[in-house]
Amino acid sequence: MVKELLRSHTSVRKYTGEKISKETVQDLIETAQMAATSHFVQAYSVIWVTDEEKQQKLGELSNNPFQFQTAGAAFLFCVDFKRLQIAGQKQGVEIVADSAENVLVGVADVALFAQNFVIAAESEGYGICYIGGARNNPEEISELFDLPDYVFPLFAMTIGTPTKRNEAKPRLPLDAVLHENSYDVEKYDQLLDAYDATLEQYYASRSSNQKIANWTKQMADFLIEQRRPFIKDFLAKKGFTWK
C-alpha cells in the first residue's frame, strides 16, 4: 500500500479550495518531524501562510500565483540555523553555522522533513505541489516572513484536495540511476534515447496539456545557463559564506 502511494505521486496545481484544518496541519507537521535528520540538528522550520495577502504575495514572488489560489493550505519550508545558534548560546558557545557543509546539512534536513510531510498528506487523500520558485525572490520572501539571519527559504508548497488526479510522469529507467559497485557512464547514450521515446509518448497521449517534448531536450534547455546566480550572494547576506 505504501509503495503504491509513492508510485502514484503527481504534482497538483488546482485544488477544490477547501481549507485544511489546524488540527490536520499540526498532525502532518508532527509526522514530518519524525524524518531522519543529520546529527539530530533538525535544521528546518516551516511557515504556515494563513494570511491571504501574504499567501497572494508569496505566489507572486514565486512566479506561481495560480498554484496558491485554490490551495487548502500554503507553506514556506526553510533551512534554519537560528534555533541552533540560540541553543549554542544557552551553552555559552557560538556555533559555526557558516559553512558549506552546514548548508548541505540544512538542505538535506528540509528535504527529508518536507517529503515526510508530503507522504503523510497524500496518504490522507490530499495533493501537493513543491514550489522551487520561492528561490526566485528570496530576499523579498525573507522580508515578507521576517526570516532572521541563518534562516533562508528553500521552497514553498501548496496542499489541498485535488480537482483531478493526473497521470504519473514516467521516471528515468532503473538502470539509469542504479549503478553496481562503480559508476557506469557508458550506458547513458542508449538509456536516454529510450527514455526520450517514453516521455515523448507520455506527453503526446496524456489527458491534458499535450505537447511534443522529451527529457534530454528539456534538461538541455533548462541547464544551458546558470540558474538564479544571485543565490550565493543572498546566502552570504543570511550568514552563509561557504567557508
**What is the span of the domain harbouring residue 162?**
2-167+226-237
Q: What percent of the chain has pLDDT over 90?
A: 94
Strands 127-131 and 73-80: unpaired
pLDDT in tens, 112-133: 999 999 999 999 999 999 999 9
Is residue 217 one of the residues assigned to a domain? no
Is residue 214 one of the residues assigned to a domain? no
Is residue 29 one of the residues assigned to a domain? yes
Asked if 98 and 56 sit in the same domain, the reply is yes
pLDDT in tens, 152-167: 999 999 999 999 888 9
Contacts of 35 (CB under 8 A, 6+ apart): 109, 112, 113, 115, 116
Q: pTM, whole model, 2 decimals? A: 0.96
Closest by CA to 155, choosing from 96, 228, 236, is: 228
How many CB atoms are closer than 10 A to CB 43?
Answer: 27
Q: How confident is the model at residue 207 (pLDDT cuts 50, 70, 90)?
A: confident
Region 13-29 average pLDDT: 97
How many CB atoms are closer than 10 A to CB 150?
Answer: 22
Q: What percent of the chain has pLDDT over 70?
A: 100
Asked if 102 and 191 sit in the same domain, the reply is no
The pLDDT value given to residue 210: 87
Rounded CA separation 152/138 (Å): 8
Residue 240 has pLDDT above 90, yes or no: yes
Asked if 101 and 180 sit in the same domain, the reply is no
The pLDDT value given to residue 76: 98
Asked if 155 and 182 sit in the same domain, the reply is no
The rounded mean pLDDT for the chain is 96
Is residue 126 one of the residues assigned to a domain? yes
Asked if 200 and 144 sit in the same domain, the reply is no
Asked if 199 and 121 sit in the same domain, the reply is no
In the chain, the number of structural domains is 2
Least confident interval from 59-68, 113-122, 205-214: 205-214
List the beta bridge partners of residue 79: 44, 152
The pLDDT value given to residue 137: 98
Asked if 104 and 185 sit in the same domain, the reply is no
Asked if 105 and 191 sit in the same domain, the reply is no
Give the cell for residue 80: 534554519
Rounded CA separation 138/105 (Å): 19
Residue 77 has pLDDT above 90, yes or no: yes
Is residue 92 one of the residues assigned to a domain? yes
Asked if 29 and 147 sit in the same domain, the reply is yes
The pLDDT value given to residue 174: 98
Is residue 213 one of the residues assigned to a domain? no
Asked if 76 and 151 sit in the same domain, the reply is yes
Asked if 188 and 90 sit in the same domain, the reply is no
Asked if 155 and 178 sit in the same domain, the reply is no
Is residue 133 one of the residues assigned to a domain? yes
